[in-house]
Amino acid sequence: MSKKPETNLKSGKDLTKIRTPHTYAIIFVVVLLCWALTFMVPAGKFSVHQIEYTDSNGAVKTRTVLMADTFRYSYNLNNDFLSEELKDLSDDSATLEEMGVDQEALKEFVESDSSTWDQSQLDDLGLTDDVLYGKYGESMYDTGKKLHKTAKVWGTDDYSGFGFMNYVFEGLVTGDKYGSAVGIVALILVVGGSFGIIMRTGAIDAGIYAFIRKTKGFEKLALPMLFFVFSLGGATFGMSEEVIPFAMIMVPFVIALGYDSIVAVTVTYVASQVGNAASWMSPFSVAVAQGIAGIPVLSGASFRLVMWIVITALSAGYMMVYAEKIRKKPELSAVYKTDEHFRDRLENANEEERKFTLGHKLILLEMLAVLIWIVWGVTVKAYYIPEIASQFFVMGFVAGVIAVIFKLNNMTINDMASSFQGGVADLAGTAIVVGMAKGILLVLGGSDANVPSALNTVLYGIGNALNGVPAAVAAWSMYAFQSLFNLVVTSNSGQAALTMPIMGPLADIVGVSRQIAVLAYQLGAGFVDAFTPVSASLIGVLGVARIDWSKWAKYQIKMQGFFFLMGTITVIIAVAMNLQ
């Protein structure tokens, strides 16, 4: 008879059978909690308008932002009030011409039964909710009952209305090729396929062995240097999705040095988000937020540059403390078992596979050239997801052709195709998580400030709560709020558009500079991206490293505490200096 596993005598539970929840299960629980929240929090919305701002390249651009003083809850229309007012309005030809409303169409409309009117009919006339609210204020609503925007249990956008049980599909098909979720899902799959080809060539493994042989005894210097490189990428051009393919290279490399895949994700993705949080010039965060806040773009750069150096150095030091602990005793790693996949591949490589041939060198040089091409494209030509995906496909295809020519691992054209398919399959589960994460936002009603949602109401409530508190407390509260808000809305520019129109004026009221409001935004929006399961980029990197989010969270929650402490100290210093 086999021996039973040891149990905890006090609780009677078999601790060896306790397992952390799967990422899919965690996200589903979050979806349920968000759905429950919409029953308790009424929906609200803001009016929006276009503003102009100067980007980091000096070009004048426009962006749609909310108007902080236009928040209102979602109500039914006060049709009796509107009936009287619209009759009068229908006789005012000058005002209607200014509003762009057809006078004859309005006259015909006001003769109909007002009890049947709804907002969609008014929209067809050009009398949108924003237009009517701007003219009549809350008098246009029946304010007796605040409405909730709660998803049904089942349904789709075009059939019966969105239901939270369809959050996976609806999340996956949200957006377009330029963003989450469709664009990032496609990027992940294309990158996965391309690196499936590259990994099949053996070039990365051979390069790792060659590096280890050449740098024996200097491995400890590699990680901090790489941390600064990826942090610089985040600080200069908002590196995020671009980290996913880099992680495919770095995970086996870092494990070969004696560390684990958590260290690999930290030195790549976390480092890029540290750079993003402490950036002095990111066009996707600092520049947008400063433009919306109405302060000069890239102002305060000297303070932020010092901040970036200090925060990056301290973060790299934090990583090395953990990394050295794992190097000395690898079994302590929470991902020790899942890292066996990478260790076995490295350990079982024969001498033929360890040779660093001309073909391998050409593939690595080609990869370096494409990565430089990508960085140049993002920073100079404003390449984004579609272009980046195309560039990585080129990388994988050319690497495969080189492998066929040099007969690396006896590569054939068919092997290229099957390797691409295998790479796509490896990241298919990660792509699904991206859709699930987007589904959380849909359950909350979406992130559109102009559409009633529980999320807008929460945003408004937090803004009001900060009114009237001491300057230092207000600045720290802004930072805490931005950190929490980023758990749900991970787009840096999207979060800036949602929060800065409120935080900018709020900073004036509580006596802190708008520069500090931007600082609070960027620190919160950057650091938390390394933790939240809603971040499509993080989930993509974790998928590459074969790390379950729940295991990642156990490590990262401690690092988030360290980040939050650094952010708090930075904000307090900025308040003490009266950063302008």
The per-residue pLDDT string of the chain (580 residues; one tens digit each, 9 = 90 and over) reads 333 333 343 444 443 343 546 667 777 888 898 899 999 999 999 888 887 766 556 677 776 777 878 899 999 999 999 999 999 999 999 999 888 899 999 999 999 999 999 999 999 999 999 999 999 999 999 999 999 999 999 998 888 889 999 999 998 888 888 766 788 788 878 888 998 898 899 887 788 777 767 766 676 788 998 899 889 888 876 777 778 877 888 888 888 888 999 999 999 999 999 999 998 877 667 767 776 677 765 678 889 989 999 999 999 999 999 999 999 998 999 999 988 888 887 776 655 556 889 999 999 999 889 878 877 886 677 777 788 789 989 999 999 999 999 999 899 999 999 999 998 887 787 778 777 777 887 888 887 888 999 988 887 887 777 777 888 898 999 999 899 888 877 777 667 766 776 777 677 657 788 899 999 999 998 899 999 887 888 988 998 889 998 899 999 999 999 999 999 999 999 999 988 7
pLDDT at residue 520 in the model:
93
Structure tokens given for 421: 């398919």
Q: Is 134 left (phi over 0), alpha (psi -120 to 50) or beta?
A: alpha
The answer to whether the pTM exceeds 0.85 is no
Q: Could you tell me the two tokens for 434?
A: 């991206």
Burial class of residue 431 in the structure, from the number of CB atoms within 10 Å of its CB (0-12 exposed, 13-18 middle, 19+ buried): buried
Q: What is the pLDDT of residue 497?
A: 63
User: What does the pLDDT read at residue 3?
Assistant: 38
Per-residue model confidence (pLDDT) at position 1: 35
CA angle, residues 323, 324, 330, in degrees to nearest 5: 80
C-alpha span between 150 and 162 (Å, rounded): 9
CA angle 501-504-510, nearest 5°? Answer: 135
If you search the block for the tokens 């391309």, which residue do you land on?
Answer: 194
How many Cα neighbours within 13 Å face the side chain of 18? 8
Helix (H, G, I), strand (E, B) or coil at 76: strand
Residue 503 structure tokens? 């935080």
Cα within 13 Å of Cα(284), Cβ side = 24
| Under 8 Å between Cβ of 488 and 455 | yes
pLDDT of residue 2: 36
Backbone angles phi, psi at 258, to 5 degrees: 105, 5
Q: Any idea of the CA torsion for 75, 77, 81, 83, to the nearest 10 degrees?
A: 170
Q: Token digits for 294?
A: 């109405």
Return d(Cα 526, Cα 235) in angstroms, integer. 10
Whether 316 contacts 223, CB under 8 Å: yes
Per-residue buried b or exposed e for 284-314, using 16+ beta carbons within 10 Å of the residue's own CB: bbbbbbbbbbebebbbbeebbeebbeebbee
- What is the spatial distance between Cα 382 and Cα 387, in angstroms, rounded to a whole number? 9
Handedness of CA 154, 156, 160, 163 (dihedral sign): positive
- pLDDT, residue 428, reads 83
Closest of 265, 255, 253 to residue 203, by C-alpha: 253
| C-alpha span between 342 and 452 (Å, rounded) | 48
Q: What is the pLDDT of residue 383?
A: 76
The CA distance from 302 to 428, in Å, is 43
Helix axes 536-545, 243-256, angle to 10 degrees: 30
N-to-C CA span, the chain: 74
Widest Cα–Cα separation across the chain: 94
CA distance 538 to 544: 10
Helix ranges, 329-427 (H): 340-347, 351-354, 358-380, 385-406, 413-426
Task: Report the distance separating Cα 421 and Cα 433, nearest Å.
Answer: 19
Q: What is the mean pLDDT of the chain?
A: 84
Question: What is the per-residue pLDDT for 60?
Answer: 74
Among residues 309, 315, 307, 305, which one has the least CA distance to residue 267?
Answer: 315
Asked if residues 424 and 23 have their Cβ atoms less than 8 Å apart, the reply is: no
DSSP label at residue 21: P
Return the pLDDT at 435.
Answer: 79
* Rg (alpha carbons) of the chain, rounded to whole number: 27
Q: Is the dihedral of CA 338, 190, 247, 25 positive or negative?
A: negative
- Asked if residue 320 lies in contact with residue 224, where contact means CB atoms within 8 angstroms, the answer is yes
The alpha carbon torsion through 194, 198, 199, 203 (nearest 10 deg) reads: -160
Reported as type and span, the H/E element at residue 58 is none
Angle at 483 between CA 478 and CA 488, to 5 degrees: 125
Amino acid 18: pLDDT: 39
Q: Which residues contact residue 58 at a Cβ distance below 8 angstroms, ignoring those fewer than 6 apart?
A: none
Residues with Cβ within 8 Å of 507's Cβ and at least 6 positions away in sequence, in order, are: 293, 474, 478, 513, 514, 516, 517
Q: Which residues pair with 66 in a beta bridge?
A: 48
Cβ neighbors of 48 (< 8 A, separation 6 or more) are 64, 65, 66, 67, 130, 449, 450
Beta strands in 55-133 (DSSP E): 60-66, 72-73, 76-77
Q: Are 277 and 231 in contact (CB under 8 A)?
A: no
